Amino acid sequence: MFKCDRLFRLAIEFRGFKLWARNRNVRTLTQFANSILKKTRNPSSLRILSEQDTEQFKSFFLTIIEDLTNHNLISSIDEVNDRMGQIMNYCVSGGKQVRPSLLIAAYKFIRTETGLVGESIEDAIKLAWCLEMMASFFLVLDDILDNSEKRRGKLCWYKNEDVGMNAINDAVLIQMGLFELLKKYFINHKFYQQIVDVFLVVNLKTFVGQTLDCNSNNISTFSWKKFNEMCDNKTGYYTYYFPIVLAMYLAERADLQLQEKAFDIFMELGRFYQYQNDYLDCFSKFGTDIEEGKCTWLILSALEKASPKQKNILEKNYGKCSKESVEKIKNIYIEMNLNNSFDDQLEKTKDKVNAHLKKIENSLSQRMMRKLALVSLGYETYL
């Protein structure tokens, strides 16, 4: 448990709380900080895999690097291979690794439930690293688009002095590298073409979502419809459809009917994942959604509840980079107790997921999807 003074320090680090904190006692501030810790089930903190599986996944990264750089997979030119190794070590390793963990866990679940206990998960680990490379490809480009400073506790790749806009080419190298690895590892797999197609579909959908995100910085155009479309394309496909459908194909369980019925579950979980990200971005040191004028559930909820005076403040200050403007927005969020809206959304997500689960007749498939939902919503650890 966090002690009172630690919670207090955590809370007052949030820029939007500074003015508000001066007029509140320690107990109230501590309670609010504690509510943040409890309500945001940070996906990076979920224990999806056992420690043994996690270690096996991480240790295989050296093999991925070797296969990319030592066997002329990308190029026979030493300079290019050296660059590839540098990019991979800086941009691909060390992330939250939620999606590859979901893939490995889902693969193990399917294989175990179908009687193949104790089978090696090396193929799942190989595919999971390809998935993580796709994620890194997106993130390198996303950081440039958002003019971000930090990623995973260090400078964004493009912010390094010897990189700059060369990061765009580096991102494409990561993407091309993963497709070469897919060919190397899975060319003889029964569902190789379907696996490649999943990568291509998610690639397209994520860029569609990114387009909506980049073009949604005008508060007058914000709507729940636009927010949901952005979540579905940028998060639902990328975070849930991607790893779970890959696991199904890898395990040779190509159940298209199940994929269709599970689609709505993927989208609901993707929206909730975005709810968490929006919440954490708003109340963290490095979050910039307010300054960039992003369409988030927080601003949408605030606009719905705002009095004429509050709405005027929101419209005048949202999307502005000054600390004063950011504090005004955050203070309104706090006044409205939007943390309670997060609880409401969690309950709605659970109800919707349960309704979709009832449409899945196959008991194995239903159990897998239920486990996925419970883990994703923070109610269980291992899938």
131-167: string of b/e by CB count within 10 Å (b at 16+)? bbbbbbbbbbbbbbeeebeebeeebbbbbeeebeeeb
Q: How far apart are CA 155 and CA 159, in angstroms?
A: 6
Give pLDDT, residue 98: 84
Give pLDDT, residue 46: 55
Report, as an integer, the average pLDDT of 145-161: 90
Per DSSP, the three-state class of 307 is coil
- Rounded to 5 degrees, what are φ and ψ at 154? -140, 170
More confident residue, 146 or 222: 222
Query: Which two three-digit tokens encode residue 360?
Result: 């899945």
Q: What average pLDDT does the structure give for the chain?
A: 81
To 5 degrees, how large is the angle CA 362–CA 364–CA 370? 100
pLDDT single digits (tens) 175-204: 999 999 999 999 999 999 999 999 999 999
Give pLDDT, residue 115: 64
**Is the CB of residue 353 less than 8 Å from the CB of residue 272?**
no
Q: Is the pLDDT of residue 2 over 80?
A: no
Can you state the angle between helices 338-357 and 26-39, rounded to 10 degrees?
Answer: 20
Q: How far apart are CA 191 and CA 127, in angstroms?
A: 13
Q: Is the pLDDT of residue 217 over 50?
A: yes
Give pLDDT, residue 5: 36
Domains of the chain (ranges plus CATH)? 1-39 (no CATH), 40-376 (1.10.600.10)
More confident residue, 288 or 286: 288
User: Which helix (DSSP H) or strand (DSSP E) does residue 51 occupy?
Assistant: helix 51-59
| pTM to 2 decimal places | 0.79
